[in-house]
Amino acid sequence: MGKDITIYPFENRLQMRKNKHFKVLDDLWKAKGFDNPEKTGALFYLIKEAHNKYVKNNTGMLSRNDWIRYYSKSGVERDQKVEDSNSIYNDFYKLNVYHGRSKKDMIAIAEEFLKCFNDLGYTGLSVKEQGALNIVVIKIIDETYEAYQRQMNTLLNLQNQHPELTFELADGLTYERNAVDMFVYKDNNLISALQILPDKEDEDSATKDIDEQKHSFFEDIYGISPVSIKATISGIIISE
């Protein structure tokens, strides 16, 4: 796959997602394990770390460009550590999970995805190199950013509804360890923790079991049981 292939503007990638055949590609991504954090990095961890780096106030919003910048720069750092045979950073699980991917890495993922697609021989559906790279960008960058928008818009709505409370996006490690997206404070005291889920889909049973276990760990430490809520991308809560 040539290095000169380009990433489409967001509007073009959005049209790709709306295509009736995209679900086939989405299902293939999951079936072949491309959503494994060891392959792409732990995306929700990374976007929360990007938020902490670029956003200077509690209610500010990370831009899509800053998310791409953070993820790619983190990927370049990962590549450098992998190439440095003398590096003391030899925990490759952490190296893969807690770093993003460079464009070179995303091209490699696209090549692997394209091979999986071609091996299955879908009838009436064709994917070229350029399309494969942009599928990777959609799955890694756009879908993660959409989840982040949901969390931040929910935070902003809750903050407007409850000015006596303070809502704060959780850091990446808290999300990874405890499946918590947001802290709630009153008078500087932690009173609640929230997990924000998409409104249009249910967690599979395995993921739900893992999240419940992580919530139990959080409760053991803080004495607070996290609450899972569903919200739209505009931050409208539809269920608790």
In the chain, what percentage of residues exceed pLDDT 70? 94
Residue 86, pLDDT > 70, answer no
Question: E-strand spans in 29-127?
Answer: none
Band the pLDDT of 1: cuts 50, 70, 90.
low
Give ∠ CA 7-11-14 in degrees, rounded to 5.
Answer: 90
Rounded mean pLDDT of the chain? Answer: 92
Contact between residue 198 and residue 235 where contact means Cβ atoms under 8 Å apart: no
Residue 116 lies in a domain: yes
Band the pLDDT of 97: cuts 50, 70, 90.
very high
Strand 166-169 relative to strand 182-186: parallel, antiparallel, unpaired?
A: antiparallel
pTM value? 0.91
**Axis crossing angle, helix 103-120 with helix 64-83, rounded to the nearest 10:** 90
Average of per-residue pLDDT across 22-49: 95
Residue 166 lies in a domain: yes
Contact between residue 110 and residue 132 where contact means Cβ atoms under 8 Å apart: yes
Residue 1 lies in a domain: no
Residue 63, pLDDT > 70, answer yes
pLDDT tens for residues 184-216? Answer: 999 999 999 999 999 877 767 888 999 999 999
| C-alpha to C-alpha distances, 233 to 53, 177, 196, nearest whole angstrom | 23, 24, 10
Q: What is the pLDDT of residue 87?
A: 57
**Residue 89 tokens, joined:** 């950073």
Residue 5 lies in a domain: no
Contacts for 211 with CB less than 8 Å, ≥ 6 apart: 179, 195, 203, 228
Q: 189: part of which helix (H) or strand (E)? A: strand 189-198
**Residue 61 tokens, joined:** 């919003």
Contact between residue 183 and residue 167 where contact means Cβ atoms under 8 Å apart: yes
Band the pLDDT of 81: cuts 50, 70, 90.
confident
Residue 176, pLDDT > 80, answer yes
Neighbouring CB atoms inside 10 A of 238's CB total 10
Band the pLDDT of 89: cuts 50, 70, 90.
low
pLDDT tens for residues 117-138? Answer: 999 888 778 899 999 999 999 9
| Domains in the chain, number | 1
Q: 17: part of which helix (H) or strand (E)? A: helix 10-18
DSSP 142: I
217: containing domain: 10-239
